[in-house]
Structure 1
Amino acid sequence: MVRLPLTPEEVERGQRLGALLRRARGERSMLDTALDAGVSPETLRKIESGRVATPAFPTVAAIADVVGLSLDAVWAEINQPARSAQLAS
């Protein structure tokens, strides 16, 4: 299966998601957070750095639960209007 390239908006959403999860994790170690969420530390690192712009929903839900974020908060953060669109206004 060939995966289509991500749009700039998808990349930006992934970066916002990663930043949100990283902030919510706070001082908690990446290893502990990943293990508690049932994902590999490498997966969490890639999501937090924005390298995985479209992680699977169950992965996001598990990490959000561990760091104390509601899915509503995650949804609101990642669906903000694109910054590039705001700058053009």
Structure 2
Amino acid sequence: MDTHMHGTPKRATWLWLSLIGATLLTWGMGTHGAAGTWAIAALAAISFWKGAVIILDFMALRHAPLLWRAITMGWMILVWAVIAIAYLKGLGQ
């Protein structure tokens, strides 16, 4: 296996463990009533980071051609933009 293109098993394990940790952190924030602008921003940032790790590392696109990275990361950014717009629009009501 080409570790330059796909990373190492040790890196994948650490990323996987950090994804589990981030999931538990966001779950804990949600179940313990974290609210407010900073909590929402933290949840959004953590979930965006998780999406980027999955796209770039677990889908093995970190060293893929720019077009593939742009399509997948662009899709995630578009989805987050729609979520942010809906959230901000909901605040105004």
Q: Quick check: TM above 0.5?
A: no
Task: Identify which of structures 1 and 2 has the higher relative contact order when contacts are C-alpha pairs closer than 8 Å and 6+ apart.
Answer: 1
Q: Which has the higher helix share?
A: 2
Larger Rg: 2
TM-score normalised to the size of structure 2?
0.31
